[in-house]
Amino acid sequence: MHVGRIEDLRDIHDETGVPIVLIGERELHGVLGERRRLWSRVKQVVEFEPVAEEDVAILASDAAGLNVDPEACALIVKKADGDFRLVWTLLAGLEKVARTRQTELVDAKMVNAIAKKTLSWRR
């Protein structure tokens, strides 16, 4: 991680007073913690937990208008290892398939098919 860019953000904050939100890798906390000038400006640290089945159902409904059955929600979480980015990717694929089939219902069979195509690079 290149700390120089973060120092640039510190300068921008100093000049503008605008809050800056950093979302990053696990190492970000450690990098900031090593630099007192930066760490003293951190107001809040939020640790993200893996996505839960309930989160998948809400996101699918709100973002894509999909009705994902509980078994399919559990499968999405499992296939994505709780990673939001992968959940989002799966839901995008499921939305396309559902629209093509003119349905809002998503089941485990659809999830398996989309996961096979979308996450084929994963073990």
The mean pLDDT value for 15-30 works out to 84
Q: Are residues 60 and 100 in the same domain?
A: yes
Q: Position 110: which residue type?
A: M
Per the model's pLDDT, the better-predicted residue between 41 and 53 turns out to be 53
pLDDT at 104: 97
Q: Is residue 48 in a domain?
A: no
Q: Average pLDDT, whole number, for the chain? A: 90
- If one counts the domains in the chain, the total is 2
Q: Are residues 29 and 66 in the same domain?
A: no
pLDDT at 122: 61
pLDDT at 119: 85
Q: Is residue 46 in a domain?
A: no
Dump pLDDT digits (tens) for 54-96.
999 999 999 999 999 999 999 999 999 999 999 999 999 999 9
Tell me the whole-structure pTM to 2 decimals.
Answer: 0.72
The mean pLDDT value for 50-54 works out to 95
Domain with 30, as residue range(s), is: 3-39
Q: Is residue 89 in a domain?
A: yes
Q: Is the pLDDT of residue 36 over 70?
A: yes
Q: Is residue 14 in a domain?
A: yes
List the Cα angle 38/31/3 in 5-degree steps: 75
